[in-house]
């Protein structure tokens, strides 16, 4: 009799756990992207300036335009002055009622002293939102000792993906803490959710982003500051190899609008409903099956990149 009760109880607990997990998955897809309404970002940020790194291309640039549309002044940070000037011009042509500033910084530079100089510029304004978007990937996936560019590339990927969200968050949080309002969004990647063969340092550095953001949330969440990790899958950007848009691959403008709408409704999400669907399905797969899928995808990306490089050499 005791064994029967134990078996029944254990079965009930397992069933309840499965139901709970299913509800969680459904909520992360439907709740975040369909049911929940976007919050008032201005009120949650508590200040009018938004700082965006990697602001002149792809997702970062689209974040800038979407934030400008919502009434934020924009502080662009990137390494190429000509691109910064052009992006500033483009934003002001569409949104003449806001202010746009920029700062040049090459994020492969790990110098704390140079970061202090950058932070001195950024802290000259009241930063309501910090979007740590800047990131770097390999030319194509490969095993670590064969990565194109060798040790220099590996070092730069680690530095660019890890240091900016760490040091910029640390340097801007003091003003947010004093106001007890602010938003920090760290752009990671779905590649950080599982160890991915061929992606080595990139995958590991994106895992760091999720871990760092979760830790900061525990340290500062009670002080009125919102932290969010965004983990996109494929977005049609230059960094992703400019793939065609599709149901699962939005353009950067569509993606940035969707991702901004999730702030305050989800602390860790992919930023786009079909990405979330893919992500949840991916997490349900056994690791051995996922490894096969990653290997196939990596090989396709590698072959495509090598073909493009060969094409450039023949031109």
Q: What is the 3-state secondary structure (H, E, C) of 255-296?
A: HHHHHHHCCCCCCEECCCHHHHHHHHHHHHCCHHHHHHHHHH
- Report DSSP state, residue 144: G
> Active-site residue numbers?
202
* Distance in angstroms (rounded) separating the CA atoms of residues 310 and 315: 9
The torsion region of residue 75 among left (phi > 0), alpha (psi -120 to 50) and beta comes to beta
By the 8 A CB rule, do 133 and 187 touch?
yes
Annotate 29-76 with DSSP letters as a single string: IIIIIIISPPP-HHHHH-SSEEEEESTTSHHHHHHHHHHHHTT-EEEE
- The Cα-based distances of 216 to 12, 34, 131, 153, 209 in angstroms read 36, 28, 15, 28, 11
By the 8 A CB rule, do 250 and 272 touch?
yes
* Cα angle for residues 299, 252, 257 (degrees, 5° grid): 135
* Distance in angstroms (rounded) separating the CA atoms of residues 221 and 144: 37
Closest to 233 (Cα-Cα) out of 221, 243, 225: 243
What are the structure tokens assigned to 214, written together? 């979760």
Q: Which residues contact 264 (CB under 8 A, 6 or more apart)?
A: 38, 39, 41, 44, 226
């Amino acid at each position: 009799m005791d064994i029967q009760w134990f078996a029944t109880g254990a079965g009930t607990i397992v069933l309840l756990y499965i139901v709970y997990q299913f509800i969680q998955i459904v909520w992360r897809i439907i709740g975040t992207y369909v049911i929940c309404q976007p919050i008032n970002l201005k009120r949650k940020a508590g200040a009018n300036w938004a700082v965006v790194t990697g602001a002149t291309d792809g997702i970062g640039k689209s974040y800038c335009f979407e934030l400008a549309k919502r009434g934020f002044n924009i502080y662009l940070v990137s390494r190429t002055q000509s691109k910064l000037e052009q992006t500033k011009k483009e934003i002001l042509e569409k949104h003449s009622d806001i202010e746009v500033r920029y700062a040049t910084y090459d994020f492969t530079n790990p110098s704390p002293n140079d970061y202090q100089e950058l932070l001195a510029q950024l802290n000259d304004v009241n930063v309501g939102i910090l979007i740590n978007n800047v990131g770097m990937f390999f030319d194509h996936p490969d095993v670590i000792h064969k990565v194109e560019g060798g040790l220099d590339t590996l070092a730069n990927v680690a530095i660019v993906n890890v240091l900016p969200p760490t040091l910029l968050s640390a340097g801007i949080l003091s003003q947010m803490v004093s106001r007890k309002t602010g938003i920090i969004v760290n752009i990671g990647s779905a590649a950080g959710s599982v160890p991915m063969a061929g992606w080595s340092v990139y995958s590991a550095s994106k895992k760091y982003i999720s871990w760092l953001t979760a830790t900061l949330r525990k340290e500062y969440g009670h002080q009125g500051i919102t932290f969010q990790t965004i983990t996109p899958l494929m977005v049609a950007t230059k960094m992703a190899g400019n793939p065609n848009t599709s149901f699962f691959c939005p353009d950067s403008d569509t993606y940035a609008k969707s991702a901004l709408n999730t702030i305050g409704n989800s602390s860790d999400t992919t930023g786009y409903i079909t990405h979330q669907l893919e992500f949840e399905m991916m997490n349900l797969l056994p690791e051995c099956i996922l490894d096969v899928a990653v290997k196939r995808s990596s090989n396709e990306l590698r072959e495509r990149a090598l073909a493009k490089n060969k094409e450039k050499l023949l031109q």
